[in-house]
């Protein structure tokens, strides 16, 4: 028989054993729950703790010129990111110092966030290496794509720029953002228990590059146009300006540039108003540059010829309550001289005879009053009053370029009809075959009328005309000057603000390019023949040889000229060398040495252009910049 003490001990043992059995049962139940009932869920949690998935951006497609030169590309740059859950407050001061960021700013950026955080984006490789050296838990490098434009301000307005999130914000980058954008990928990284990234990664989805975009632009011509425009603006003190260079036979845009420029690689340093592409956004009254279209309308009626005479009222012509003036009073003149002396009265009288309907038809057919559809955002349609509002005064004013406003790209496309036999081609910026709909040309005037107007425009640039300063040595030019008062806020015209314009085709006898130069509010002179024509000349003189168009107007044969150059150089009498065009690299160096000038060279082969363009007046110590091409 058990004693009372033994019974108590037995019960205590039974309780302990019972507790042990209950504990074991609970452990078994928990194990079953964890292993079978919650196994998948807990496995996912574990994976999530040791792995992280990140979106990886894709490079955008390149933008290239007609010869494949890269105008815009994506380059890989490092960025600093972190996982907030692993980031320790004690590590932030050292990290802020390396990132050159105020500690308070970094602390605010991190805050209480536990997930993915961008700490500093698109940093230099040096900063990335310094961050890695800190070996901070939760901090890692991400690779991003940064847009780079090799030609900087020269192509800034045209290409636009891309934001930090790899989306186009201006120019072609915005207009073709969908096409240029790639498809982002996703990558999985592993990390240790302390939050540091482990070597190796797994692609869940590989990023794919965006499509490339090929332009008709010739970056060499673009550089020439930009330099000439910048030089002209500096000389004339103008507020701004634009240049367009086109192939008149198919509408291909070889160059378009504006001033003031901006560098798309650092667009944040410029004002938003400086980002706009003036070639397509800004309108101006063309002034006398519109007169060739009035003359073309008259010739198209069959009632007028180049030799037809028109009385210009000796400088004053009254229509209704308005009086039209000519700067140079004329009596009876023919249509050829009308363009040479740029008579407002002659143009007005022609328009009144032709009639508003026929003049309006030609202006509409060459693209005025509507967007060109070039493919750039912000394009203006210009201003051409509806035909119903054309009275006698309005018709007369439009005839010499008042009351109508155009963009530089509209004017270049329109003026091309005189250089290509009367056919209008809309401007073609994107290269054919790039998946865009074809843009065909249409006839506006007959081939004969186009030829006759071109012939008259050639006289404008000869002695006695207003465009003599547009003619480069060795070439002939068919062009027209324009000087237009700018409208003021009161509905009238400013007395001191003008737009100076020159539009021309060169060589005149067989045009290869059309160039339009528009200068906004020049200070040294207001006239297109004085302000815009020299810029045209500089562009044409440099572009034509580069395009393989040899001089056609020579005082001596090419061999004679070359012989003269060789003779001069043999004697080291360089004062007689007018231009270095055609010189070899050796001869250029010889010239620079003999004249003690500082030489800056670009390229190889034979000289295609130089700054200054002519050697007369070059002094010892001056800088001579020379471009050579094979």
Domain end position, chosen among 499, 523, 546: 546
Residue 577 and residue 534 share a domain: no
Residue 364 and residue 259 share a domain: yes
pLDDT in tens, 574-591: 455 667 776 777 777 778
Predicted confidence at residue 560, as pLDDT, reads: 46
Q: What's the gap between Cα 15 and its chain centre?
A: 89
Predicted confidence at residue 101, as pLDDT, reads: 84
- Listing DSSP states for 137-181 in one string gives TTEEEEEEEEEE-TTGGGGHHHH--B-TTS-B-SHHHHHTHHHH-
Domain end position, chosen among 189, 214, 239: 214
Q: How far is CA 109 from CA 87, 163, 322, 529, in A?
A: 12, 20, 67, 58
Predicted confidence at residue 191, as pLDDT, reads: 56
Other Cβ atoms closer than 10 A to 355: 14
Does residue 553 form part of some domain?
no
Q: Coil, strand or helix: which one is 183?
A: strand
Alpha-helical (H) ranges within 260-406 are 278-281, 291-301, 335-341, 344-354, 356-365, 392-399
Residue 520 and residue 598 share a domain: no
Residue 289 and residue 156 share a domain: no
The residues near 140 (Cβ < 8 Å, ≥ 6 apart) are 81, 82, 83, 189, 197
Place of tokens 């309108």: 283
Does residue 38 form part of some domain?
no
- In angstroms, the CA 81 to CA 122 distance is 11
DSSP 434: S
Longest dimension (CA), the chain: 154
C-beta separation of 574 from 568 below 8 A = yes
C-beta separation of 480 from 459 below 8 A = no
Q: Where are the beta strands (DSSP E) in 412-569?
A: 423-424, 442-443, 478-487, 493-506, 513-520
- Assess whether 288 carries a catalytic annotation: yes
Other Cβ atoms closer than 10 A to 561: 18
- In angstroms, the CA 562 to CA 555 distance is 13
- In angstroms, the CA 607 to CA 600 distance is 12
Residue 135 and residue 150 share a domain: yes
> Helix and strand tally (H, E) in the chain?
20, 22
Does residue 154 form part of some domain?
yes
Q: Which structural domain range is residue 586 located in?
A: 558-629
Predicted confidence at residue 584, as pLDDT, reads: 73
Residue 236 and residue 210 share a domain: no
Catalytic residue, chosen from 79, 288, 476, 610, is 288
E strand or H helix at 54: strand 51-56
Residue 280 and residue 157 share a domain: no
Query: In 3D, which of 246, 245, 240 has the Cα closest to residue 273?
Result: 240
Residue spans of the chain under pLDDT 70 = 1-2, 31-56, 187-203, 433-438, 553-578, 582, 605, 629-630
Torsion of CA 234, 240, 246, 252, to 10 degrees: 130
C-beta separation of 508 from 476 below 8 A = yes
Residue 542 and residue 562 share a domain: no
Which residues are paired to 532 by β-bridges?
none
Residue 404 and residue 456 share a domain: yes
Q: Coil, strand or helix: which one is 627?
A: strand
Residue 269 and residue 191 share a domain: no
Q: Coil, strand or helix: which one is 28?
A: helix
Place of tokens 């401007």: 427
Which residues are paired to 118 by β-bridges?
81
The domain tally of the chain equals 3
Predicted confidence at residue 17, as pLDDT, reads: 79
DSSP 269: G
The residues near 172 (Cβ < 8 Å, ≥ 6 apart) are 63, 72, 158, 159, 160, 213, 215, 375, 376
Task: Measure the CA angle with vertex 530, ends 527 and 534; round to 5°.
Answer: 135
Q: How far is CA 431 from CA 307, 375, 438, in A?
A: 42, 12, 10
**Which backbone phi and psi does 556 adopt, to 5 degrees?**
-130, 165
CATH number of residue 66's parent domain: 3.90.1310.10
Domain end position, chosen among 495, 525, 546: 546
C-beta separation of 347 from 388 below 8 A = no
Other Cβ atoms closer than 10 A to 254: 26
CATH number of residue 423's parent domain: 3.40.710.10
- In angstroms, the CA 320 to CA 47 distance is 88
Predicted confidence at residue 620, as pLDDT, reads: 78
C-beta separation of 123 from 35 below 8 A = no
Which residues are paired to 52 by β-bridges?
189
Other Cβ atoms closer than 10 A to 558: 12
What angle separates helix 356-365 from helix 344-354, to the nearest 10 degrees? 100
Residue 264 and residue 396 share a domain: yes
Does residue 140 form part of some domain?
yes
Q: What's the gap between Cα 316 and its chain centre?
A: 44
Residue 175 and residue 244 share a domain: no
Predicted confidence at residue 561, as pLDDT, reads: 45
What angle separates helix 585-595 from helix 558-571, to the nearest 10 degrees? 50
- In angstroms, the CA 181 to CA 191 distance is 31
Sign of the alpha-carbon torsion through 116, 121, 125, 131: negative
* Total residues belonging to the chain: 630
C-beta separation of 483 from 287 below 8 A = yes
Query: Would the pTM count as exceeding 0.85?
Result: no
CATH number of residue 563's parent domain: 3.30.10.20
- In angstroms, the CA 388 to CA 496 distance is 32
Torsion of CA 219, 221, 227, 233, to 10 degrees: -120
E strand or H helix at 227: helix 219-236
Does residue 5 form part of some domain?
no
Q: What's the gap between Cα 483 and its chain centre?
A: 26
């Amino acid at each position: 028989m058990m004693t009372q003490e033994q019974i108590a001990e037995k019960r205590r043992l039974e309780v302990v054993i019972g507790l042990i059995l209950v504990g074991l049962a609970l452990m078994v139940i928990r194990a079953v729950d964890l292993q079978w009932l919650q196994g998948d869920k807990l496995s996912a949690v574990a994976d999530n703790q040791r792995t992280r998935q990140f979106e990886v951006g894709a490079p955008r497609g390149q933008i290239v010129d007609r010869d494949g030169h890269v105008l815009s590309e994506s380059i890989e740059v490092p960025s600093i990111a972190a996982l907030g859950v692993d980031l320790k407050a004690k590590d932030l001061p050292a990290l802020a110092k390396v990132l050159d960021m105020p500690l308070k700013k970094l602390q605010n950026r991190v805050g209480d966030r536990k997930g993915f955080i961008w700490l500093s984006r698109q940093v230099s490789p040096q900063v990335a290496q310094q961050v890695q050296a800190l070996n901070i838990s939760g901090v890692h490098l991400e690779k991003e794509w940064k847009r780079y434009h090799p030609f900087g301000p020269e192509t800034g307005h045209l290409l636009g720029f891309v934001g930090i999130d790899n989306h186009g914000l201006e120019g072609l980058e915005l207009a073709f953002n969908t096409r240029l954008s790639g498809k982002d990928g996703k990558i999985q990284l592993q990390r240790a228990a302390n939050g540091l990234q482990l070597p190796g990664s797994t692609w869940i989805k590989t990023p794919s590059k965006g499509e490339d975009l090929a332009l008709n632009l010739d970056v060499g011509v673009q550089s020439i146009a930009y330099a000439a425009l910048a030089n002209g603006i500096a000389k004339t003190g103008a507020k701004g300006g634009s240049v367009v260079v086109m192939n008149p036979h198919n509408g291909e845009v070889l160059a378009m540039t504006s001033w003031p420029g901006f560098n798309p690689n650092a667009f944040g340093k410029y004002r938003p108003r400086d980002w706009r592409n003036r070639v397509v956004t800004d309108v101006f009254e063309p002034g006398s540059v519109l007169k060739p279209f009035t003359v073309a309308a008259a010739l198209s009626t069959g009632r007028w010829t180049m030799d037809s005479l028109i009385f210009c009222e000796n400088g004053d012509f009254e229509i209704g309550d308005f009086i039209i003036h000519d700067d140079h009073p004329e009596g009876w003149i023919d249509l050829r001289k009308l363009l040479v002396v740029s008579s407002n009265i002659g143009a007005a009288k022609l328009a009144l005879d032709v009639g508003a309907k026929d003049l309006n038809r030609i202006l509409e057919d060459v693209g005025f009053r509507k967007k060109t559809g070039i493919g750039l955002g912000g394009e203006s349609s210009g201003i051409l009053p509806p035909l119903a509002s054309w009275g006698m005064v309005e018709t007369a004013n439009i005839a010499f370029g008042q009351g109508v406003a155009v963009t530089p790209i509209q004017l270049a496309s329109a003026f091309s009809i005189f250089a290509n036999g009367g056919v209008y081609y809309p401007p073609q910026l994107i290269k054919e075959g790039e998946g865009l709909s074809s843009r065909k040309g249409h006839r506006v005037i007959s081939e004969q009328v186009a030829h006759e107007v071109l012939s008259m425009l050639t006289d404008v640039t000869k002695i006695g005309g207003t465009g003599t300063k547009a003619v480069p040595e060795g070439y002939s030019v068919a062009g027209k000057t324009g000087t237009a008062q700018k409208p003021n806020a009161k509905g009238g015209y400013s007395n001191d603000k003008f737009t100076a314009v020159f539009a021309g085709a060169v060589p005149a006898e067989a045009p290869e390019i059309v160039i339009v130069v528009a200068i906004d509010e020049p200070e040294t002179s207001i006239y297109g023949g004085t302000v815009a024509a020299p810029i045209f000349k500089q562009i044409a003189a440099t572009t034509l040889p580069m395009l393989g168009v040899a001089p056609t107007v020579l005082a001596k044969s090419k061999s004679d000229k070359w012989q003269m150059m060789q003779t001069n150089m043999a004697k080291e009498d360089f004062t007689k060398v007018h231009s270095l065009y055609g010189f070899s690299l050796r001869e250029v160096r010889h010239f620079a040495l003999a004249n003690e000038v500082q030489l800056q060279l670009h390229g190889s082969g034979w000289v295609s252009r130089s700054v200054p363009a002519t050697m007369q007046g070059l002094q010892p110590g001056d800088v001579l910049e020379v471009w050579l091409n094979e």
